[in-house]
């Protein structure tokens, strides 16, 4: 575990003054309370041991796909050690099917996505070479990629790596219906052709059928671990994680561990890199690209120096905005005096961003903690200002690993709970912790510091191949972007106001539409593609 750097007395005094100033601001913020989403339903699942949700996504039928790690031996299909547990839920959280995947050693998932054919793909790691796992290269772990059909049956699986320690932490469906993967590798054999030293960022492009198109290692002589990768609007990729290096591909390290952001070309060539942080441990968890091509990176920091202007204690949420070439636009710290760890970010309805993770704090920005660790969701606007925050959990430990947008403009979260009171009232604790899924309502229409954008008219809606877009009181042209429930921009085009847009290339599903006129007014809508 990384321990935060202890600042010297003078730095502590400076930060205390910042805290006092923030406390004054917080008094005004509390006086203008903004309504937060409420829990529409919550469900817990598990067996006689540990069950932890790591990834969730809404599916095209309105339900949800969840990937969890389980050690419960009473679940049907359990193989041994930790296994991957995949659950398909309906729109109310009831189980439609569930499957366990793995071997006799340890496996774990990091991400699951729905694929263009209506099936699913999950990634993670494996130490096995039996049952559902074949082709393991040896060493500590291999990265593991498993393609399922719509009913959860394995269509194909791949172990990726060499004789060292290899894990896959992130995956996204790419525009060519292939996959981009990112994680960590210490190998220099098998599927891995180069290593800079210890653990490297490892980025792998797969075809739709799971064949390696290209793979690249990035880093220096110390540990470099990628946690999230997203395809960018130019067809390239942005990768984030943590670095302890200050050589090789890494420049500008501030101290112990920094956020590390890489921009790659479509073929995986490094275009630019950026280290962000201070003298202690600063770990990036997730990234999204905004409609104008900027990047918002989230994670948690133990620093109060360097790029980190405010530090409350232990670990804090840290949100960083970079422009398209990696220049720092703004940074914000959110948290309290105990550990607060941001895990994921999604675009918020009406603009801004939702950041989800776990808090153990009960002070500063954190209000409503029922005890121990809780799910913690914060909304920030486009300038990084805190709009609202909400904790979810009970009196025992509850930890959040993932959040996703839903088609009704709400959100869904997953992680685990030890509680059966508070927000987890009614939970049956079968073993240790239970896989926990929370469905949140759309945000109430209470005015916030970010005015709600005007709505755009889309017709026909649902649509097949083309739509017409009409924005009220707009100029003659619209810069239109269409993005999916994960915030990935799929289409961007300038058209006349009232003109048509070809959407034939989009898969069946629900999408968000944003259109900006020449005066900078943004109009938003929701599109259903048949």
Task: Give me the CATH topology for the region 454-529.
Answer: Immunoglobulin-like (2.60.40)
- DSSP code for 30: H
- Contact criterion met (CB below 8 Å) for 409 and 438: no
- Contact criterion met (CB below 8 Å) for 261 and 240: yes
Q: What is the mean pLDDT of the chain?
A: 90
- Contact criterion met (CB below 8 Å) for 132 and 110: no
pTM of the model: 0.83
At residue 510, the pLDDT reads 83
At residue 184, the pLDDT reads 98
The pLDDT of residue 114 is above 50: yes
> 255 Cβ partners below 8 Å, 6+ apart?
5, 277, 278, 279, 280, 303, 305, 306
The pLDDT of residue 243 is above 60: yes
Residue 34's pLDDT band (boundaries 50, 70, 90)? low
At residue 474, the pLDDT reads 64
The pLDDT of residue 212 is above 70: yes
- Contact criterion met (CB below 8 Å) for 29 and 379: no
Q: Rounded mean pLDDT of 383-408? A: 96
Q: What is the spatial distance between Cα 392 and Cα 410, in angstroms, rounded to a whole number? A: 15
SS3 117: coil
* Least confidently predicted of 32-46, 228-242, 428-442, 447-461: 447-461
Using alpha carbons only, how large is the chain's radius of gyration in Å?
22
pLDDT tens figures, 57-79: 999 999 999 999 999 999 999 99
Q: What is the spatial distance between Cα 51 and Cα 510, in angstroms, rounded to a whole number? A: 30
Main-chain phi, psi angles of 459, to 5 degrees: -155, 145
Q: What is the spatial distance between Cα 402 and Cα 289, in angstroms, rounded to a whole number? A: 18
* Least confidently predicted of 24-28, 155-159, 387-391, 403-407: 24-28
Residue 517's pLDDT band (boundaries 50, 70, 90)? confident
Main-chain phi, psi angles of 170, to 5 degrees: -150, 150
Closest of 161, 171, 177 to residue 237, by C-alpha: 171
The pLDDT of residue 14 is above 80: no
pLDDT above 90 covers what percent of the chain?
Answer: 76
Burial of 479 (0-12, 13-18, 19+ CB in 10 A): middle
The pLDDT of residue 5 is above 60: no
The pLDDT of residue 255 is above 60: yes
At residue 434, the pLDDT reads 97
Residue 487's pLDDT band (boundaries 50, 70, 90)? low
- Evaluate the omega torsion of the peptide bond into residue 460 and state whether it is cis, within 30 degrees of 0: yes
Per-residue 3-state assignment (H helix, E strand, C coil) for 236-260: CEEEEEEECCCCCCCCCCCCCEEEE
At residue 9, the pLDDT reads 32
The pLDDT of residue 520 is above 80: no
Closest of 405, 348, 406 to residue 378, by C-alpha: 348
> 229 Cβ partners below 8 Å, 6+ apart?
170, 171, 172, 180, 181, 182, 203, 237, 238, 239, 240
Q: Rounded mean pLDDT of 465-472? A: 88
At residue 445, the pLDDT reads 64
At residue 129, the pLDDT reads 98
Q: What is the spatial distance between Cα 71 and Cα 468, in angstroms, rounded to a whole number? A: 51
pLDDT tens figures, 150-173: 999 999 999 999 999 999 999 999
- Given the structure tokens 């029922």, which residue do they identify? 370
At residue 2, the pLDDT reads 36
pLDDT above 70 covers what percent of the chain?
Answer: 91
Residue 521's pLDDT band (boundaries 50, 70, 90)? confident
The pLDDT of residue 446 is above 50: no
Ranges of each domain in the chain? 454-529
Residue count (the chain): 530
- Contact criterion met (CB below 8 Å) for 340 and 313: no
């Amino acid at each position: 575990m990384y321990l935060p750097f202890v600042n010297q007395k003078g730095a502590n005094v400076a930060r205390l003054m910042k805290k006092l100033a923030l406390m004054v601001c917080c008094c005004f913020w509390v006086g203008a309370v903004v309504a937060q989403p409420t829990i529409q339903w919550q469900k817990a699942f598990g067996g006689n041991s540990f069950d932890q949700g790591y990834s969730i996504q809404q599916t095209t039928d309105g339900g949800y796909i969840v990937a969890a790690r389980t050690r419960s031996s009473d679940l049907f299909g359990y193989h041994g050690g930790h296994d991957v547990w995949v659950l398909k839920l309906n729109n109310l959280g009831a189980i439609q099917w569930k499957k366990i995947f793995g071997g006799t050693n340890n496996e774990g998932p990091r991400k699951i996505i729905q694929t263009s054919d209506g099936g699913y793909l999950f990634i993670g790691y494996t130490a096995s070479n039996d049952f559902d796992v074949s082709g393991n290269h040896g060493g500590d772990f291999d990265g593991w990629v498993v393609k399922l059909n719509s009913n959860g049956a394995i269509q194909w699986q791949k172990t990726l790596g060499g004789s060292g320690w290899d894990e896959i932490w992130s995956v996204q469906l790419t525009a060519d219906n292939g996959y981009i993967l990112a994680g960590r590798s210490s190998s220099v054999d098998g599927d891995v052709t180069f290593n800079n030293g210890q653990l490297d960022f490892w980025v792998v492009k797969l075809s739709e059928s799971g064949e390696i198109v290209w793979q690249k290692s990035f880093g220096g002589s110390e540990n470099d671990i990628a946690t999230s990768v997203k395809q960018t609007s130019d067809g390239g990729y942005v990768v984030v994680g943590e670095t302890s290096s200050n050589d090789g591909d890494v420049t500008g390290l501030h101290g112990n561990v920094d956020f590390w952001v890489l921009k790659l070309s479509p073929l995986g060539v490094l275009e630019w890199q950026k280290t962000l942080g201070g003298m202690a441990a600063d770990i990036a968890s997730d990234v999204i690209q905004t409609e104008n091509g900027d990047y918002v990176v989230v994670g948690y920091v133990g620093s109060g120096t360097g790029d980190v202007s405010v530090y409350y204690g232990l670990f804090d949420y840290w949100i960083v905005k970079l422009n398209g070439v990696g220049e720092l636009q703004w940074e914000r710290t959110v948290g309290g005096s105990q550990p607060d760890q941001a895990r994921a970010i999604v675009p918020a309805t009406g603009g801004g961003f939702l950041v989800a993770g776990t808090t153990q704090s009960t002070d500063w920005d954190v209000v409503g903690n029922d005890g121990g660790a809780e799910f913690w969701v914060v909304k920030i606007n486009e300038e990084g200002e805190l709009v609202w925050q909400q904790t979810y959990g009970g009196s025992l430990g509850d930890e959040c690993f993932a959040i996703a947008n839903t088609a009704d403009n709400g959100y869904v979260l997953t992680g685990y709970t030890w509680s059966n009171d508070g927000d987890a009232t009614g939970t049956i604790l079968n073993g240790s912790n239970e896989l926990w899924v929370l469905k949140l309502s759309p945000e109430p229409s209470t005015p916030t510091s970010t005015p709600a954008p005007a709505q755009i008219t889309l017709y026909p809606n649902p649509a097949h191949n083309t739509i017409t877009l009409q924005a009220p009181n707009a100029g003659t042209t619209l810069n239109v972007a269409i993005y999916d429930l994960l915030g990935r921009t799929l289409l961007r085009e300038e058209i006349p106001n009232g003109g048509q847009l070809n959407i034939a290339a989009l898969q069946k599903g629900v999408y968000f539409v944003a259109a900006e006129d020449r005066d900078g007014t943004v109009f938003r809508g929701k599109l259903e593609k048949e």
